[in-house]
Amino acid sequence: MTDLRSNDLNHPGWGRVTLSFTLAVTVLRVLVVYSTPLPLFFDEAQYWVWAQDLALGYYSKPPMIAWAIAATTAVCGDGAGCVRLSAPLFHGATALVLFFLCRHFYDARTGFWATVTYSVLPGVTLSAVVVSTDVFLLFFWACALLVYTRADQSRDLRWWALLGLVLGLGLLSKYAMIFFIVCLFIDAVWRKSAPPLLRRPGFWTSLAVASIVYLPNFYWNWANDFPSYLHTGDNINLGSDLFNPISGLEFLGSQFGVFGPILFGFLLLLVWRDLRQKSSRTALTDAQRRLYAFSLPVIVIITVEALLSRSHANWAAVSYIAATILVVGELRRLDKSVWLKASLALHVSIAVAFYNFDLIARAFDLPITPGLDPARRLRGWDRAGDWAVEIRQDYPGVRLLFDDRKVMSEMLYYVQPHPLESVMWNPKGQRNNNFEMTTDISGAAGENFLYLIKHDWPGRAGDSFASSKHIATFRSRAFTGDVLELRAYLLEDFRGYQK
């Protein structure tokens, strides 16, 4: 049994305790993703569809998430738990990387608390049971920071080559990994002891290796007219009305939810404290500068993006790798661990409530409205799939037709057998999602389709067929009320897109 009663902050027992804690949390979350009755979110369903046709890239994302889902479902099947399995596993691995990072910047005991803190962050509580690109981005970002910290202290080019490998894998996970290069430059310029980065062979070695690793996705984009890059540009949305202060405030407010109110509040206090220092360049240690360099720039960039256009709460998620270490380390160094414990208590309570939301609501007969239901957008899709299966039995061999990416993603997953031959209605030949890129009915003259839509009439699609007939309507009911409604139409004898 590990004895941690000594004052040795780097006692090897802290590593064993950290590993045991992380394994326990990971196993618990695996059980949660397997036992939850909640259907897949439409993005998760879409990623599963991608995993059925492995490629070097997809319309809106690089390929890592599809590869990961293909790996987990190959092991344990296509159930929702297997689709989501990589989320708790990767977050557990990220938590362990944080231990080693924090041990380098502070000590092993603080590393344990950083791992615990990261594991129960509100954003991680959600992300660990929902498969998304952030799951992989956070892992590779943490690994890159750990490897860079080692490479910066060594003349061995192998560390820099390893950094390039991790950066490349991060870019294959999510393009936001490019922020790491921005943070690396800021770190190199800010730290007084850092030699000029552009003169270091290791830096160019890293870029070369990262480019080689990332090259397959670049080739895919080049071969397909760069859809992922264009989609990323559309997300930035700088063509809209510039300067939206409300959006900026909403983004900053959302960070109290992602990182936690106590932790984000203390991070802001740290920034304010150090900005007020007359000579913050000399007052801060190299460790503090590096942690600031790999956290604040992304928060600032995304806040500016929110002010100019829009942003989502998770866009600055990578900031909280370094920010977790900084905040936990400073809370302990300043003897304010009571706030850390209060934050942990709050976050654990949030996790328990979130993972047991339905059970608690029913046990206490709580009047939950759709606005208060965190799973409102997930409910009903599995039942909608059963409804579509019954309809297809009356029309064997008729392909499904959709005009909504979300509906199509969910139905491709929940309808059995999976109707992967389904197509997207796309009369203008647009490329606004992966289905519009990869499906086409322009050559299906004379074919019949089952048209599944959210609206109550087939619209212009009906004009392109000899006849259209409403077949059935689906309405789901949960304790939050009606949350989903779909309609099915039989469209017969496709005559080509009508101008």
Distance CA 51, CA 43 (A): 12
The two three-digit tokens of residue 304, written as one number:
């500016």
Q: Is the dihedral angle over the CA atoms 236, 240, 245, 249 positive or is it negative?
A: negative
* 3-state secondary structure (DSSP) of residue 20: helix
Give the DSSP letter string of 385-446: HHHHHHHHHHSTTPEEEES-HHHHHHHHHHSSS--TT-EE--TT---SSHHHHH---TT-TT
* 3-state secondary structure (DSSP) of residue 494: strand
Are 95 and 106 in contact by the 8 Å Cβ rule? The answer is no
Distance CA 465, CA 445 (A): 9
* 3-state secondary structure (DSSP) of residue 472: strand
Residue of 437, 398, 404 lying closest to 421 (CA atoms): 398
3-state helix, strand, coil in the chain (%, to 5): 60, 10, 30
pLDDT tens digits in sequence order for the chain, 499 residues long: 455 655 667 778 899 999 999 999 999 999 999 988 789 999 999 999 999 999 999 999 999 999 999 999 999 999 999 999 999 999 999 999 999 999 999 999 999 999 999 999 999 999 999 999 999 999 999 999 999 999 998 888 999 999 999 999 999 999 999 999 999 999 998 876 556 888 889 999 999 999 999 999 999 999 999 999 888 877 766 555 666 788 888 999 999 999 999 999 999 999 999 888 755 555 788 899 999 999 999 999 999 988 887 788 899 999 999 999 999 999 999 999 999 999 999 999 999 988 887 778 777 777 666 666 777 778 889 999 999 999 999 999 899 999 999 999 999 999 999 999 999 999 988 899 999 999 999 889 999 999 999 988 888 888 899 999 999 999 886 655 667 899 999 999 999 998 7
Q: For residue 234, count other CB atoms closer than 10 A to its CB.
A: 12
